[in-house]
Structure 1
Amino acid sequence: MIKVLKPGFYSTIQDAGRFEFQEYGVPYSGAMDTYAASMANMVLGNSENAAVLEMTMTGPTLQFDCETIICLSGADMSPVLNDVPLVNNKAIHVPKNAVLSFGKLNDGFRGYLSVSGGFKTDKVMGSRSMFKGVTEHCVIAKGDELSIKEHIEVMLKKNASIKKNDKYLHSNSVEVFKGPEFDKLSKNQQQILLTQEFSISKDNNRMAYQLEQPLENNLDAIITSLVLPGTVQLTPSGKLIVLMRDCQTTGGYPRVLQLKESTMNIMAQKFMGNKVCFKLLDTY
């Protein structure tokens, strides 16, 4: 077990996501930064779908009631284990009763903690991903006890080398495809959309990122239609909304762009004031 001494700002259990239930209005959910979550699992030899702890901006304080191995990836939140500084993307032995805590956010916005064998919280609709109204809890809370494997099958004695790429943490170029309603924009509107820098607004979370700069338009609303994580909607007031992992499954705003799956990770590491620009790809 892992006992939550402090939950952090917004910490949730996430895996690869919840599929095959979108027709009932259930979001996909899953890790916002799939690259970082996969890296954390890969280092430990976990399955790609093993549940991890996603931490946002401020990390939690956790006490381990059993020995295990962990890995941290994604944002650099100045992690320490029993006051000893840690580094990301490395397998770390954790003794029983050790305390993991976090400090200053140095890089990125979302960090990931994997444990040997993955977190063993309840599965709902085939996923451990937390989401309000689907799982019992939508975030971890002080006093929670998170289930993990209470033994280590393989102790890591050698230094494993896994190639990692953290450049995306600093990138502001977001690769996109044309959305279904892209061609309804004028040539001038298309040019603005694809050449202007946009700032992340204060309204950003696991459901959607709103951008500050408006794109004036007179597009008509559409019949409520399918949307996906990465869909960029344009409201009548000119607000651009980038849908994220916990987004709704349908919407009525024009869908002007669709983020490439891998560039969802770039957006996931952005926060208020950060800038992004869209780079149009020719083909899917």
Structure 2
Amino acid sequence: MVKVLNPGLYSSIQDFGRVGFQQYGVPIAGVMDQYSAALANHILGNHETAAVIEMTMTGATLQFYNDTYICVTGADMSPKLNDVLLQLNKAIKIQTGDVLSFGKIKTGFRTYVSVLGGFKSEMVMNSQSMFGGITSELKLVINDEFKYDVSNSFIERKNASIKVNNNMFLKHDIEAFQGPEYHLLSQKQQDILLNSPFSISNNNNRMAYQLQEPLENSLEPIITSGVLPGTVQLTPSGKLIILMRDCQTTGGYPRVLQLKESAINILAQKYTGQQIRFKLV
């Protein structure tokens, strides 16, 4: 079992979300950066979609009550085990009573902690992903406790190597496809959209990232239509909103772009003030 001594700013249990329930208005949710979460699970030999703890901007403090293995990936929040710095992207042996904590963030924005066999928590609609109104908790709170498998079946692969893509923390190009309403943009609007840098505003969270610079807009709202994580909406005020994992299932703003899955992972590791550029594929 693991106990939450300090939940950090915004930490939650996430897997790969609730696929197949959008027709009922249920968001997909799930890990913001699927690459880093899957990496944390692969290193331990878990299924890539096993539930992990996702931490945003500041890390949690966790105490483990059983021997196991963990792995920390994603943003470098200076992880420590019993106050000793840990290496990212590596299987770490945990002994009963060990405390995992985090310090200063160095790169990225979201960190993932996997445990051998995955964290066990409330399952709703085939997913453990925390979401307000769906699960009993929105995020971790102090004194939360979660079970995990107590197993000695893990064989540490000392000679195995996994190539980690750290370039994702440095990339600013966000690859996207044309959205359903892209063709309604004027040539000038398209040129600005694809050739200008956009800054991430302070309105960014698991639901959406709003960009700071406006794109002059005269398009009419559309009939409410389906949206997905990665849909880029253009509001009447000219603000661009990139929908993320906890986004609604329908929307009435023109959908000018649709991000690639890998682009959502990259964006999930960006924070307020950082710049991105859209790259059409």
Measured after TM superposition, the shift of residue 150 of structure 1 is 2.3
Answer yes or no: is the 8 Å Cα contact 1:44–1:70 preserved in 2.
Answer: yes
Answer yes or no: is the 8 Å Cα contact 1:109–1:269 preserved in 2.
Answer: yes
Secondary structure, counterpart of 2:40 in structure 1: helix
CA RMSD of aligned residues (A): 0.8
Measured after TM superposition, the shift of residue 155 of structure 1 is 4.3
In structure 1, give the amino acid aligned to 2:47: S
Answer yes or no: is the 8 Å Cα contact 2:29–2:131 preserved in 1.
Answer: yes
Secondary structure, counterpart of 1:69 in structure 2: strand
CA distance in 1, matches of 2:279, 2:159: 38
Residue of structure 1 in register with 2:273 after alignment: 273
In structure 2, give the amino acid aligned to 1:220: E
Answer yes or no: is the 8 Å Cα contact 1:69–1:152 preserved in 2.
Answer: no
Question: How many aligned residue pairs are there?
Answer: 281
CA distance in 2, matches of 1:155, 1:7: 30
Answer yes or no: is the 8 Å Cα contact 1:66–1:151 preserved in 2.
Answer: no
CA distance in 2, matches of 1:162, 1:114: 16
What aligned pairs does 1:1-284 form with structure 2 within 5 A after superposition? 1-156=1-156, 158-281=158-281
Measured after TM superposition, the shift of residue 149 of structure 1 is 1.1
Answer yes or no: is the 8 Å Cα contact 1:22–1:249 preserved in 2.
Answer: yes
Answer yes or no: is the 8 Å Cα contact 1:120–1:147 preserved in 2.
Answer: yes
CA distance in 1, matches of 2:214, 2:272: 16
Measured after TM superposition, the shift of residue 159 of structure 1 is 4.5
Answer yes or no: is the 8 Å Cα contact 2:116–2:154 preserved in 1.
Answer: no
Measured after TM superposition, the shift of residue 157 of structure 1 is 6.3
Measured after TM superposition, the shift of residue 153 of structure 1 is 1.8
Measured after TM superposition, the shift of residue 151 of structure 1 is 2.8
CA distance in 1, matches of 2:125, 2:159: 37
Task: Give CA-to-partner distance per residue, 1:210-229, whole Å, 9 cap, x none.
Answer: 00000011000000000000
Answer yes or no: is the 8 Å Cα contact 2:232–2:243 preserved in 1.
Answer: yes
Answer yes or no: is the 8 Å Cα contact 1:116–1:152 preserved in 2.
Answer: no
Secondary structure, counterpart of 1:209 in structure 2: strand
TM-score, structure 1 as length reference: 0.98
Secondary structure, counterpart of 1:13 in structure 2: strand
CA distance in 1, matches of 2:160, 2:35: 18
Measured after TM superposition, the shift of residue 83 of structure 1 is 1.2
Measured after TM superposition, the shift of residue 146 of structure 1 is 1.3
CA distance in 2, matches of 1:148, 1:212: 42
Task: Give CA-to-partner distance per residue, 1:14-67, whole Å, 9 cap, x none.
Answer: 111111110010000111000000000000000111000001010000000011
Measured after TM superposition, the shift of residue 158 of structure 1 is 2.5
Query: Which stretch of structure 1 is more off in the superposition, 142-151 or 174-183?
Result: 142-151
In structure 1, give the amino acid aligned to 2:60: P
Answer yes or no: is the 8 Å Cα contact 1:74–1:110 preserved in 2.
Answer: yes
CA distance in 2, matches of 1:30, 1:107: 22
CA distance in 2, matches of 1:54, 1:99: 17
Secondary structure, counterpart of 2:120 in structure 1: coil
Query: Which stretch of structure 1 is more off in the superposition, 152-161 or 234-243?
Result: 152-161
Structure 2: runs of 5+ lacking an equivalent: none
CA distance in 2, matches of 1:184, 1:54: 38
Answer yes or no: is the 8 Å Cα contact 2:44–2:154 preserved in 1.
Answer: no
Secondary structure, counterpart of 2:148 in structure 1: coil
Measured after TM superposition, the shift of residue 165 of structure 1 is 0.8
Percent same amino acid among aligned pairs?
Answer: 61
